[in-house]
Amino acid sequence: MSSLNKKFPLLLPDPIRKNVGVADLIDSTFKAYNGGRLAEACRLFSQKMVAGKGVVGMSLTGALTPAGLGRSAIVPLMKAGFVDWIISTGANLYHDLHYGLGMKLYAGSPFLNDVQLRHEGIIRIYDVLFDYDVLLDTDAFVREVIQAPEFQKAMGSDEFHYRLGRYVHERERKLGIKETSVLSAAYQLGVPIFTSSPGDSSIGMNVAAMALRDSQLLIDVNRDVNQTAAIVYDAKSSGATSSVFILGGGSPKNFMLQTEPQIQEVMGIEERGHDYFLQCTDARPDTGGLSGATPGEAVSWGKIDPDNLPDCVVCYTDSTIALPLLTSYALSRVAPRKPKRLYERRDDQYQTLRAAYFKHGKIQKIDHRTDLSKAKTKSKPKAKTAPKRGRSGRSVTGTKRD
């Protein structure tokens, strides 16, 4: 007789009954394969990531705001204090503007005739449809807003999105709509939003075109790199956990994870890595499609103390399925937290990191990581038999950089 019953829960789900709530369904019947991972993700997020003062960063890729997930899930998570900072593709922020500006998107089909759509002036994002004017009006909105004096300088993308969010919020008020836009909600809640590829989106395209005129607006990428690292450093050095919640992958994922190597290896500051790691993706490591790769790789990069492997869950499923379920689960199981309003502390956090850097960093090659030998002696006995990733989330985090 094995010791299975001591280590693992019995797999005997309840029969599904009518009118069950989302959180109960997940807890009672999502037991294995990606269903099991999604249940673990729900519990990791609810029980650990948003527990106490834990700081949660969220990265957004894929067509989330066009699919309505800004309004249905991301804004509610922000309002509940469950998302403290964000790195997004430009596309998700550009299409978020449509919602904030009261424009209309439609739930269409991926199987329409694109030539026909073109003739009718209809734009398609997979199965989301809208009029061509939605693009033109949004473009003009961006161009007009960034002519204001407050935009005539180089600035981090968090500052740019904060300032842009205020205009969106104003428009929402005039239109009498609310809770529609991630940018507007972020402005109101002080949630910093970064983008890892500031030129890559219609927002960036319009900013670039205006730079051919007299606009002085330029995204300060260096500030973004250091500011995101500063948020993580502030969390960790104040004793809070730092968690990453990754939807999709791509450049925003990598930008979020590289905060730890930026602190440790480039700046030479002793740090131990993100505490919790949660990803919903359909990308695969073996094809090179999973940008930043698996949490496992991160251990080899030396950012994780093998004795203290943080929790980690990767669920291979569509964000349009996983995110509403996870949001519903978290809102049902956990009371809202007071938003941290990290944007208001941005200069403080930045200066703190800068001071730490000047204390530890240097231009020449840094010395070998001191913790390597420490870890070696401490973790040896346990590491060998330990599972690579624990099912309840005890696992390696991803602090990969490239």
Catalytic residue among 48, 253, 303, 400: 303
Query: Which one among 149, 365, 370, 381 touches a copy of itself, defined by CB under 8 A?
Result: 365
In this structure, are residues 238 and 265 in contact, taking their beta carbons and an 8 Å threshold? Answer: no
**Amino acid occupying residue 289:** G
Q: Give 12 or 52: the residue with its C-beta nearer to a copy of itself.
A: 12
CB 389 within 8 A of CB 296: yes
Only one residue has tokens 């990265």, namely 59
Candidates 375, 397, 398, 399; binder of a copy of itself (CB under 8 A) is 375
Task: Give min distance, CB of 170 to a copy of itself, in A.
Answer: 19
Q: In angstroms, what is the minimal distance from the CB of 346 to a copy of itself?
A: 15
227/349 Cα distance (integer angstroms):
7
Token pair in block for residue 229: 């690292």
Query: Whole-angstrom Cα distance, residue 156 to residue 195?
Result: 9
CA distances from 49 to 23, 45, 58 (A): 17, 5, 11
Q: Does 240 bind a copy of itself (CB under 8 A)?
A: no
Tell me how crowded residue 130 is: count the other CB atoms within 10 A of its CB. Answer: 20
Q: Which of 251, 253, 249 is nearest to 284 (CA)?
A: 249
Which of 52, 149, 368, 370 is in the footprint of a copy of itself by CB under 8 A?
A: 368
Provide the minimum distance between the beta carbon of 370 and a copy of itself in the complex, in angstroms, as a whole number: 12
The alpha carbon of residue 77 and the mean position of all alpha carbons in its chain are separated, in whole angstroms, by: 12
| Residue 89 sits in the site that holds a copy of itself (CB under 8 A) | yes
Q: Any residues with CB less than 8 A from the CB of 361 and at least 6 apart, and which?
A: 266, 267, 268, 269
Active-site residue flag, 303 = yes
Q: Does 152 bind a copy of itself (CB under 8 A)?
A: no
Q: How far is the CB of 161 from a copy of itself (least distance, A)?
A: 14
d(CA 251, CA 248) in angstroms, rounded, equals 10
Q: Which residue lies nearer to a copy of itself by CB, 119 or 174? A: 119
The reply to whether 176 sits near a copy of itself by the rule CB under 8 A is no
Q: Which of residues 246-305 bind a copy of itself (CB under 8 A)?
A: 248, 250-251, 254-255, 258, 261-262, 265-267, 281-289, 291, 293, 296-302, 304
Find the part of the chain contacting a copy of itself (CB under 8 A) among 45-53, 106-114, 158-166, 237-245: 106-114
Binding of a copy of itself at residue 46 (CB under 8 A)?
no
Instruction: Note whether 168 binds a copy of itself by CB under 8 A.
Output: no
CB 361 within 8 A of CB 266: yes
Rounded least distance, CB 310 to a copy of itself, Å: 14
- Helix or strand holding residue 158 (H, E): helix 157-175
> Mapping DSSP to helix (H, G, I), strand (E, B) and coil, where does residue 301 land?
coil
Would you count residue 204 as binding a copy of itself (CB under 8 A)? yes
Residues with catalytic function: 303
